[in-house]
Amino acid sequence: MMMMFGWVSPVSVRIKAHEDRLGFCTDCRGCEKACFMNVKPRGFASRKNINCVNCGECIEACSKELGADRGIFSFTNSGISSLPASEIRDKIHSTLIPAKQKLRKELFEETSN
């Protein structure tokens, strides 16, 4: 349900595929392998997938393959926001990603017990 609010919210943060960078893609499929929702992130250039939870795993995978400033994907703010996209990205990387890693670790520990 929360995912739906993100799609209709005028100030949500979303994953954007940059069409002008698609030529840099090496077809490693790292973005697809990293996506736990089984979304095909490279398709974002033509259309959005409602199953995407905007976790940023595809951004990390692509940046590892192509380099930090050459990746196909990035976070973008969709609409009215007082923060520029770069500041939003920094906030996400400093808060959301560590929380996601902690949750992943906790889930792994639960499943291994």
Per-residue confidence of the chain (113 residues) as pLDDT tens digits? 445 555 555 566 778 888 888 888 999 999 999 988 888 888 776 677 778 888 888 988 998 999 877 888 888 776 555 455 566 666 666 766 677 777 777 777 766 66
Is 2 contained in some domain?
A: no
Is 5 contained in some domain?
A: no
Check residue 105 and give its pLDDT. 78
Check residue 28 and give its pLDDT. 93
- Determine which helix (DSSP H) or strand (DSSP E) holds 112, and give its type and residue range: helix 97-112
Is 68 contained in some domain?
A: yes
Is 46 contained in some domain?
A: yes
Structural domains in the chain (count): 1
Q: What is the extent of the structural domain holding 39?
A: 12-112
Check residue 109 and give its pLDDT. 76
Question: Which residue has 């994953």 as its token pair?
Answer: 15
Tell me if 61 sits within 8 A of 34, measured CB to CB: yes
Is 3 contained in some domain?
A: no
Rounded Cα distance between 31 and 91, Å, is 22
